[in-house]
Structure 1
Amino acid sequence: MIIDQDSGGFSPDLSKFSLRQGTGDMDVEEVEEVPTHLNTINSSGGFLVVSMDKLSVQYTSVNLHGHDVGVVQANCPAPVKRLMYYFEIFVKNAGAKGQIAIGFTNEHFKMRRQPGWEANSYGYHGDDGLLYRGQGKGETFGPTFTSGDTVGGGINYASQEFFFTKNGKLVGTVYKDVKGPLFPTIAVHSQNEEVNVNFGQQPFVFDIEAFTLEERMKQQMMIEKISLPLNISHRIVRSYLRHYGYQDTLNSFDLASRSTLPPIPVAQENGINEQADTYALSHRKILRQLIRSGDLDSVFGKLRDWYPQILQNESSTICFLLHCQKFIELVRDCIALLAYEEPMKSPVGYLLELCQRELVADALNSMVLSMNPSMKDTESCLQSYLERLLRQLSACCFERRSLNGDQGETFRLHRVLQSRKEGKS
């Protein structure tokens, strides 16, 4: 909050103002490196040969000791900023003993040991079908696998589990208690064993997309089981419409819901203060409509009549936004003659879009709300209850991800809304 000396009161710090169309940094898609081939440098050297394309490995020696394992990791750790990670191997030749393993290991893993035999590693082994997790003794897990089988290993970051597959079917899952970076890892351990690796260059045998969708549905079902107070979503929508001055839509919304929902008391309930958002509702409606239509001269006229204190400080953020928008409206029709044949595709095209007018309208709406003499916290006028709820949801998801070692998806509102649309189509 800042003190506006010229208006003689408090006003919201509009430097913190952001477009409602976005959700801040948490809405930006995160890009990270993904495994594409095997790491020929960090491997067990003399016990295996990696093909030229670095997607096939063969055990060429005769092992004399239990630790003569041919191990090779992927060229980088499994990506963590997603819901799932998965890769597969095709057993081209099970060799003399079929001691092939697939799993995940950390960067300090001893490269002459089977994945799962050392701490911070997990491995599903083909010769016995056992799962090894951090020690030399395995546990019953799934079937053995041999020549002609396709076996996969993955990480479910939502449930914090490893999972393994065989020939397109899920074998099982196990809790992942390792938080650091993990490398997809392959091991061969007897003569002539040979496997091909698929990091996604080819379609997987296991339907990882369906498995991922199933996990999302599990999460959605958990959310839908949460009991909410009666009409709470209705109240949140009403508060959103009030907050941004959509008076006509609010009236239509109330009319449509009158026959199905009981009357909502005006008094504050469940943390929603209706009186605060109802302040100057008709004025805010008119100002928004004028800005959306590009009539900035009328906006300035209304402000002089209704809220002259907003215009007293010509160097204020809101005055700067309004004057900039007036200039944009003046050049809107002649910009094609002055500079660009296709203004909307130009570097300044975003200034001509409706969202730019909405930004200015939202900022002015917040300023008018801050004029409310009963407003105790002027920062609360910057966002509606719905937006504050979404910010809290983002923060909770971010905290949960932090507790999982910064692994898993971040909350992206656009993706959530789009997935809901696709689910209903």
Structure 2
Amino acid sequence: TKQNKNQNIFIQQFSFYNRNLRVFIVFSSCDSMNSNFIDKFRHSAKREAMEEDEESPTELNTINSSGGFVIVSPDKLSVKYTGAGQHSHDVGAVQANKPAPFKRYAYYFEIYVKSAGAKGQISIGFTTNNFRIGRHPGWELNTCGYHGEDGLIYLGKRQGEAFGPTYTTGDIVGGGINYDSQEFFFTVNGALVGTVSNYIKGPLFPTVAVHSQNEEVTVNFGQEKFAFDFKGYEASERNKKQIAIEKLSIPPNINHRLVKNFLLHYGYEETLHAFDLATNSSVPPICVAQEDAIDVKDTSYALHERKILRQLIGKGEIDAALAKLRDCYPQLVKNDKSEVCFLLHCQKFIELVRIGALEEAVNYGRAELAKFVGLTVFKDIVEDCFALLVYERPDESNVGHFLEESQREVVADAVNAAILSTNKYDKDQLHSHLDTLLRQLMACRMELRSLNDGQGETFLLKRLLKNNSCKRIKKTA
């Protein structure tokens, strides 16, 4: 049931993004097993960060500021206007010390208007690296600014557009960028005022400006709690997108076919039988085309053997798995330096380390792994495996991911794919249909991010599943 729900999520996401982008990326069905499973073994269990590491603004930039018209406080979080404010080129504008991070869903910061001064000519917005200091954000091309004196939004020209309320002493004003919708948004005293399209390419610096005597503002880059519920806003925006995606209707037959193909492909025999019972076997069989164009109803090629091998590897019984392969598929282990043999020998070494049989692991490594050291594609993995012996607590080391359960899954998948490659009627089964669908979804998301000049969060499958799991829990609570 869980697989079927996740399956529907993938199809809806794919349909939504593929429809909007109107592109289709064709993947080669002859992807090298080496590059696929070796890379998975190398990286599979390394923990993915939910956001890419980026530096964020922490203070105002005192070097690139209207130094002749403002004073920045020692903590670099407040700015006060000291000029005369007589013309449009003596604005006291100050950028943040770093651009807004853009490899995420959205960014936000706030200012507190400590004093509106003589005229309340305060503005908040975003500017580029070549912004002409001495002008309000929004007045120059490739800038955006929300102005407190008149409540107008300025988008690269001196003529503003009606946008929101004016703001003055005691108000808290916020500015943000929604990278997913490619919009700027602004708030006043914790309430969303509105949004405008983001027409600017490249890094954007949070910027504040003051322009009449005694105007003073304090900037909050997140060092204190925001007046605006930024996390709630982000969750709401994500939910809007998800609702739009979930409105897409996916025929149950497609879901069932893909789930069944997935279970068949990876050798989950018992789960497949349970799935057939749950669906009352109402799903038409998935046919595999032979080279002579005759449909083959039996898609369960070596299903029982693949199930047994997956179970053996999943329990860490590598010797038994190797023996089974030698009995049933000797051609797969005939070349002792093949990818399948390498992964199985690595996993055997890892299992010995897991149970603390270090001396046996050393001997096994010398006998079976040492011969792979001279092969470039395997060398770094062999070295990392041997590195497990150095640590008193290898599971807590920087190579500890080899001891996680996910490594067994990678090896089992590689063996499964190798067996499927022996099917003379369909040798091209490296990926299930669901795998192909996910790859297409990722390609669409990457293409969309590229069209947005690299802005927006990286697509992470774990995050997608986690977000949807949390929503299901809330619905049932």
User: TM-score when scaled to structure 1?
Assistant: 0.89
Superposed, 1:168-179 pairs within 5 Å as 168-179=190-201
Q: Secondary structure at the match of 1:298?
A: helix
Q: In the alignment, what sits opposite 2:16? A: none
Deviation at 1:264, TM superposition (A): 2.2
Q: Flag the structure with higher helix content.
A: 2
Contact 2:45 2:401 in 1 (8 A): no
- Which amino acid in 2 is paired with 1:408? G
Q: Secondary structure at the match of 2:260?
A: helix
Q: Secondary structure at the match of 1:180?
A: coil
Q: In the alignment, what sits opposite 1:4? A: none
Superposed, 1:141-290 pairs within 5 Å as 141-258=163-280, 262-267=282-287, 278-290=300-312
Distance 2:189 2:352 in 1: 65
- Which amino acid in 2 is paired with 1:315? K
Superposed, 1:73-92 pairs within 5 Å as 73-92=95-114
Distance 2:154 2:453 in 1: 23
Q: Secondary structure at the match of 2:68?
A: helix
- Which amino acid in 1 is paired with 2:171? D
Superposed, 1:11-410 pairs within 5 Å as 13-17=33-37, 18-19=39-40, 22=44, 29-258=51-280, 262-267=282-287, 278-330=300-352, 332-335=354-357, 342=393, 344-345=395-396, 349-375=400-426, 377=428, 381-410=429-458
1:344-368 deviation line (CA, Å, top 9, x unaligned):
4456544343222222211111100
Deviation at 1:391, TM superposition (A): 1.5
Deviation at 1:328, TM superposition (A): 3.6
Distance 1:286 1:376 in 2: 21
Contact 1:132 1:139 in 2 (8 A): yes
Distance 2:91 2:210 in 1: 6
In structure 2, the CA distance between the partners of 1:15 and 1:191, relative to structure 1 (3 Å rule), is same
- Which amino acid in 2 is paired with 1:367? A
Contact 2:45 2:406 in 1 (8 A): no
Distance 2:200 2:192 in 1: 22
In structure 2, the CA distance between the partners of 1:346 and 1:56, relative to structure 1 (3 Å rule), is closer
In structure 2, the CA distance between the partners of 1:37 and 1:82, relative to structure 1 (3 Å rule), is same
Mean CA deviation greater in 60-69 or 149-158: 60-69
Q: Which runs of 5+ in 2 are unaligned?
A: 1-29, 290-294, 361-388
Q: In the alignment, what sits opposite 2:3? A: none
Contact 1:26 1:394 in 2 (8 A): no
Distance 1:346 1:31 in 2: 21
Distance 1:148 1:309 in 2: 78
Q: In the alignment, what sits opposite 1:6? A: none
Q: In the alignment, what sits opposite 1:422? A: 470
Distance 1:328 1:342 in 2: 13
In structure 2, the CA distance between the partners of 1:327 and 1:113, relative to structure 1 (3 Å rule), is closer
Distance 2:31 2:418 in 1: 7
Contact 1:23 1:413 in 2 (8 A): no
- Which amino acid in 1 is paired with 2:423? N
Deviation at 1:134, TM superposition (A): 0.7
Deviation at 1:12, TM superposition (A): 5.1
Contact 2:113 2:216 in 1 (8 A): yes
Contact 1:50 1:57 in 2 (8 A): yes
1:88-129 deviation line (CA, Å, top 9, x unaligned):
000000000000000111111111111111111111111111
1:200-228 deviation line (CA, Å, top 9, x unaligned):
00000011111100110011011111222
Distance 1:293 1:44 in 2: 66
Q: Secondary structure at the match of 1:231?
A: helix
In structure 2, the CA distance between the partners of 1:119 and 1:287, relative to structure 1 (3 Å rule), is same
Q: In the alignment, what sits opposite 1:5? A: none
